Structure 1
C-alpha cells in the first residue's frame, strides 16, 4: 500500500464520518471530519457509493461508534492510548477523555502533517502526541521515545488497518504491541472475514480498493486468535450485532467482519 493510497483512504474515511455527522440522528458527531475530508474525500465517497452501494459505508460508521465507546471504557484504567494508523481520526479532539489521558497518534508522516495543518487552531481534549512512522517497520523505539511508558497499562486501537497488510506484517505488528503492553492493557482491533475476501458481493468494492492502490490482503475467520496466541483474553463481536442494534444493518445480513476487544492479564506471555 503506497503512501498516496494511505492518504486517499484516510480522506475517504473522513468523508464517511462527515456524512454520518450530518444525519438527523447520527451515531456519532465528528465536527472536524468535513474539513479533514475536503473535496477529494467527498469525491471519493461519491464514486465509492456509485460503484459499491450505500451499504459499503456502513461498516466504517458502525465501527467508529463502537470504538468510540470501547476506547472511553478502556481509558478509565489505561490513561495512555495509542491509535495505530490514526489517519484523519479526530478522537483526540472530539471525545470526552478522562483527566490525565494521553493519546498517541501514529501514522505516516505525511498523513500526520496533513491533519495537524487542518486542526492547527483546535484544542485537543487530552494530551496529544503525534508520531510519523511506518507501521510495517519497527516503530517501537520511536513511540517509547515519544513518551509511551511500557510499564503502565495502554489502550491500543488498530482500526481499519489489518486488511491492507500481509499475514507476516500483521503478526509482527501484534508482537510489537504485546511487547509494549503491561498487564491491564487493552487491545482493540477490527478485521474482515477471510470469507469476505472472496465473496461475489464484495467484488466491486475490492476491485475499487485495488485500483486505487490499497488492495485488501488479509482476513480471518478466527479473529480472536491474533491476541489469544499472545496470551490475551479476547471477546469477538460480529460487526452485524452492533450494526443491527444501531439500526444500520439489515437484520438477516452477517457483518463480514469482526470487532475484537482483548485484555492482557498478569499471566500473559511477554
Structure 2
C-alpha cells in the first residue's frame, strides 16, 4: 500500500475542509449526493475537525446543518449542471479539482474525457488514495499551478481545442487575485470552442473583504478576489452567464430558510453560482504546445 503524503500547504488544506463537509452531507438521511470517498480523502485532519464541530454544535441542533449547507447545495447544483450538459460535450476540465470525486460518482458516458488540474501537493495526495479506484470515464489528473502557464500541460494530454468543453471552477476563483482571474478566464476562452460550457462560483466584494480580515477562518482568510458583477466578468470573455445565489429557488434543495437581499443592494456578503455558455468565437488564438 502506497504511503499517503501529507498536505502541508494551508490553501491546499482547504480541500480537506470541503471533503469532510461532503462526508458529513453523505451521512445525512436526506443527503443531496453520495460521496463515498469523502471521509477517506478528508483523512485524520478532517476527522479531527468533524469531531471538534460536533462538540461545538452539541447544544445547537442547527449548527451542523448551517456549517455544510453551502457546500452541500453547491456540490448538488454543479452535479445537476454537469449532467445537464454532458449530452453536448465529451470533454470536461475541472480546474482546481481539489478532492472532488465526481469522476467516480457521476454517471459519465464512458467515452467522456475528464481532465483534473490542481497543485502538485493536492494531486499527489488525491491520487495516492484514488489511483486504484474505478472511474466512470477516462480520467487524467494533471499537476499544475493555475497562476503559472498550464495550457500546454492540458494539450499534451490530448485536449482538443476544437471540441466543445465543459469547464468547472468550483471553489477556485476567490483564491486568485484579480489579475490571475482575468488571465485564467482569458486562457479558458482561448481554449474553448463554440458551444462550450462553464461552471464557477464566486463571492461578492464584501464577502471577500470581510473574509480576508478574519485570519482565524480556515477558508475565507485565503480569499483574494470578489465581484458584484459576475455576469459582466464572464461576458467580457464571450460567455453568456446565468447567475444564481445559493438559497434561491433553483439552488436551495430545502436547505436555506433565509431571505436573500436583492442583487441591486450593494455592499452585502453573498456568493454566486455561475453557469455559462460560449456562443461566439471571440478571444481565441491558436495555442501551441510549449
Q: TM-score, normalised by structure 1?
A: 0.89
1:260 maps to which of 274, 283, 287: 274
Whether 1:239 aligns to 2:253 is no
Whether 1:220 aligns to 2:227 is yes
What does residue 192 of structure 1 align with? 203
CA distance in 1, matches of 2:74, 2:200: 10
What does residue 85 of structure 2 align with? 74
Please list, as runs of the form range in 1=range in 2, the aligned pairs for 1:196-215 lying within 5 A after superposition.
Answer: 196-198=207-209, 206-209=214-217, 215=222
What does residue 142 of structure 1 align with? 153
What does residue 11 of structure 1 align with? 16
Which sections of structure 2, spanning at least 5 residues, go unmatched? Answer: 1-6, 58-62, 262-268, 285-290
Whether 1:36 aligns to 2:47 is no
Please list, as runs of the form range in 1=range in 2, the aligned pairs for 1:65-144 lying within 5 A after superposition.
Answer: 65-144=76-155
Q: CA deviation at 1:179?
A: 0.7
Note closer, same or farther for the CA distance 1:251–1:97 as it changes in structure 2 (3 Å cut).
Answer: same
Count of residues in correspondence between the two structures: 264
Q: CA deviation at 1:107?
A: 0.5
**Structure with max Cα Rg:** 2
- Maintained 8 Å contact 1:183/1:264: yes
CA distance in 2, matches of 1:73, 1:120: 27
Note closer, same or farther for the CA distance 1:160–1:114 as it changes in structure 2 (3 Å cut).
Answer: same
Whether 1:158 aligns to 2:166 is no
CA distance in 2, matches of 1:79, 1:139: 21
**RMSD between aligned alpha carbons?**
2.4
Q: CA deviation at 1:3?
A: 6.7
Q: CA deviation at 1:98?
A: 2.0
CA distance in 1, matches of 2:53, 2:160: 40
1:52-88 CA-partner distances (Å, limit 9, x unpaired) = x542432111110001111112221111100001011
What does residue 248 of structure 1 align with? 255
- Maintained 8 Å contact 1:6/1:214: no
1:100-123 CA-partner distances (Å, limit 9, x unpaired) = 111110001121111111123310
